[in-house]
Amino acid sequence: MTDQAMVADGVAGAGQARKPRQPGCIPSGEASFYDQLKMMWSAFIGSPLRRLLFWVGFGIFALIVATAFGQVLLNRWNQPFYDAIERKDMAGFLHQLVVFAEIAGALLVLNIAQGWLNRYLHIKLREGLVRDLLDEWMRPGRALKLKQSGEIGVNPDQRLHEDAWHLADLSADLGIGFVQAGVLLVSFIGVLWAISEGFVFHYGGRSFAIPGYMVWAALAYAGTASALSWLLARPLVRLNADHYAREAELRVSLVEASQGVEEIASAGREGATRGRLEQNLTAALLTVRRIMTAAIRLQWFTAGYGWVTVVAPIVIASPVYFAGDLTFGGLMMAAAAFTQVHSSLRWFVDNIGAIADWRATLMRVASFRLALIRVGEG
C-alpha cells in the first residue's frame, strides 16, 4: 500500500485507484498532527462539559502527587528495612513492617480513589466528544452534504461510535499515564541524584566519582530504548488507520447485504455479493496480518528490554556496593529509586503501541470533524 493511499484516511484499498476528489471531500492528510490536536482542543474548550472535565483532571493530578509522595516514603523505607535484615535485627525488622503497612495502606486508598476518577474521566470524555460530533453532524443539511462529498463521508457511524469511544479511552489512559510518569520522574530524580552523588568507583588503584551517576545511567538506558521503540512502532500509525477503515468497510458491506437480502435473492446476485464480501474480508485480514508482523517486531524488543530491566539497576550500582562504599540497604534503595525514574522515562516505550493506535484514531476522528466543518462552510 502506498503512503498516499494510507494517509487518505485509510479508505482507498491496496492497488485501487484513488477516487476523484469531490467538493467538500476532506482527506485526513490535509490536516497536520498539530492541526488535528488544535482542532480537537478547540472542541474541548467549547464543550459544556469542560468545567467538569477540568475538575476531574485536577482531582486525578492531586491524587497522583499524593501517591508520588507516598512512593518516595516507600523508597526511603527500603534502606532501614534491608539494613535491619543485614544486621539480623528482629526488632528493627518488625518495626519496619509496621511502617510498610501504614505506607501501603495509604497508597491503597489513593490508588482506589484514582481508579474511580480515571474511569469517570473515560465516561465523560466520550460523552463530550460524541456530543460534539453529533452536534456538528446533525446541523441542517450537513449529514447529506458529507455523504455526497466523497470518501470521508463513508461510514460516519464508525467515526461517531467506535472511533470516538476508542479515542476517548486512549486519550484518558495515555494522558493520565504521562502525567503520572512526569510527577514520579520529578519526585525521584532528585532522590536518585542524592543517593548516587557520593558513589565512588575504584579502578587500577585510582578512585573517581561521577555526580548523579545513577541518573545519567537511567537517562541513557531509557532514552536509547525509547528511540529504538519509536523506529519499530512508527509503521503502526498508518497500519492501524488502514485497519479501522477496512473493518468499517466490511461491516457496512455486511449490513447492506443483510438489509438487501430479498433484492439480492430475487436478482440472483448471491455470487457477486459473496465475492464483494470476501474481497472486503481479505482486505481487512491483510491489514491485521501487517499489524501482527509489526507488533511482533516491536514485542521482541520491548519484552527483551523488560527482562534486562529486572537486573539493570542492581548491575549498574553493583561496582560501588562490591567496593564496600554502599550498604545492602543503600543498594536496594538506589535500585528502587532507579526503577522509579526508569519507569517514568520508559513510559514512551511501554505505551508505544497505544500511542501509534491513538495517532491513527485521532486522525480518523479529527478528519471527520474537519470534513463536517468544511461542508458546513461550503
**Dist CA 296 CA 71 (whole Å):** 34
> How many residues are present in the chain?
378
**How many helices and strands in the chain, by DSSP H and E?**
14, 2
**Dist CA 239 CA 215 (whole Å):** 36
**Dist CA 176 CA 184 (whole Å):** 12
Tell whether the model's pLDDT for residue 333 goes beyond 70.
Answer: yes
Q: What are phi and psi of 203, to 5 degrees?
A: -150, 125
CA angle 354, 156, 42 (to 5 degrees): 65
| DSSP designation for 185 | H
Work out the pLDDT band at 14, boundaries 50, 70, 90.
very low
Place of cell 499515564: 177
For 351-365, what is the HEC assignment? CHHHHHHHHHHHHHH
Work out the pLDDT band at 2, boundaries 50, 70, 90.
very low
**Dist CA 24 CA 169 (whole Å):** 30
**Helical ranges in 163-260 per DSSP H:** 164-196, 213-233, 235-259
Q: What nine digits make up the cell of 250?
A: 466490511
pLDDT tens column, 209-223: 777 788 888 888 888
Place of cell 509489526: 294
In the chain, where the domains are located: 25-377
Q: What nine digits make up the cell of 378?
A: 461550503
pLDDT tens column, 159-179: 888 888 889 999 999 999 999
Place of cell 457496512: 252
pLDDT tens column, 41-94: 888 888 888 899 999 999 999 999 999 999 889 888 988 898 888 888 899 999
**Residue closest to 368 by CA, chosen among 5, 1, 11:** 11
Q: Under CATH, domain 25-377 is a member of which superfamily? A: ABC transporter type 1, transmembrane domain (1.20.1560.10)
pLDDT tens column, 16-48: 333 333 333 334 445 677 788 888 888 888 888
Tell whether the model's pLDDT for residue 147 goes beyond 60.
Answer: yes
Give the per-residue pLDDT at 27: 43
Quick one: CA dihedral 55, 61, 62, 64, positive or negative? positive
- Provide the β-strand partners of residue 281: none
**Residue closest to 246 by CA, chosen among 285, 293, 273:** 285
Q: What nine digits make up the cell of 72?
A: 518516595
Q: Quick check: 218 and 338 in contact, CB under 8 A?
A: yes
- Provide the β-strand partners of residue 203: 206
**Residue closest to 375 by CA, chosen among 138, 191, 181, 195:** 138
**Dist CA 364 CA 26 (whole Å):** 11
**Dist CA 296 CA 158 (whole Å):** 27
Give the per-residue pLDDT at 47: 83
Residues 6+ apart with CB under 8 A from 83: 89, 92, 327, 328, 329
Percent of the chain with pLDDT over 90: 18
Q: Quick check: 165 and 38 in contact, CB under 8 A?
A: no
**Dist CA 25 CA 8 (whole Å):** 11
Tell whether the model's pLDDT for residue 225 goes beyond 90.
Answer: no
Give the per-residue pLDDT at 298: 82
**Residue type at position 182:** G
